[in-house]
Amino acid sequence: MFKTSAAAACAAAALLWSESALAQSDIERGKYLAAIMDCGGCHTPGVFLGKPDFARAFAGSEVGFEIPGLGIFYPPNLTSDKATGLGEWSENEIIAAVRTGARPDGRELAPAMPWRAYSALSDRDAKALAKYLKSLPPIANKVSDPVGPSQKAEAPYLSVKMP
Ligand code: HEC
């Protein structure tokens, strides 16, 4: 009897350990994907001003992208801050935005966010990436709202010609 319950406890502990090890390796994988997919290259303050602020990596950009005819779009804060970042987004909502450009409010993300290229991401990698973003410590930083094509921008922006 003792032997059986000890064995069961060991098995349960091993399972718990392997599950947390798996979650950890997902986050590691997500970190790697975020690096090679250059999320921080657009979503980090200062990058387009020549002074990347790595202490606030992924906290959003003060410089937007102008898509002629569509408007100006600022790469938002991807950290887990609830008010200004992705803190209130579920993993599935992050995955939908990255792979299909669909925001939870139904707006389609402008093509300055390369979601069409990211649509090829596998389920497993998309999940790992979302888990990594959810694991980022919250940094409060509200980027400018998108600006319509006929509105005047208050914040700096780059003009892009998309194919
Ligand atoms: C070339 C620049 C660029 C790169 C690279 C990029 N993004 Fe974006 N991203 C943007 C812009 C610009 C927007 C805002 C688009 C809009 O508002 O329509 C955006 C929006 C988003 C959103 C929606 C957030 C919100 O609050 O609406 C998410 C999530 C996101 N990006 C995640 C990522 C991830 C994850 C990566 C890396 C895998 C990444 N982005 C790489 C430019 C980029």
For ligand 1, atom 11: residue with the closest CA: 75
Selection from 53, 35, 34, 23 nearest residue 139 by Cα:
53
pLDDT at 16: 64
CA 126 to chain centre: 10
If you measure from the C-alpha of residue 72 to the centroid of ligand 1, how many angstroms do you get, rounded to a whole number? 13
| pLDDT at res. 87 | 98
Buried b (16+ CB within 10 A) or exposed e, 22-38: eeeebbebbbebbeebe
Mutational pocket test of ligand 1: of 33, 43, 67, 133, the residue with most ligand atoms within 8 Å of the beta carbon: 43
* Residue numbers of the chain with a pLDDT score lower than 50: 1
Q: Could you give the domains of the chain?
A: 25-159 (1.10.760)
CA distances from 106 to 11, 59, 65, 97, 137 (A): 45, 23, 20, 10, 26
Question: In this structure, are residues 112 and 44 in contact, taking their beta carbons and an 8 Å threshold?
Answer: no
Q: Please give the Cα distance from 138 to 117 (Å, whole number).
A: 27
The pLDDT of residue 65 is: 97
Nearest CA to 35 out of 141, 139, 132, 158 is that of: 132
Rounded distance from Cα 149 to ligand 1 centre (Å) = 19
Please state, rounded to an integer, the average pLDDT across all residues of the chain: 92
Q: Which residues contact 49 (CB under 8 A, 6 or more apart)?
A: 62, 63
pLDDT of residue 49: 96
Taken in order 63, 55, 87, 115, is the CA torsion positive or negative? positive
Q: What is the pLDDT of residue 15?
A: 62
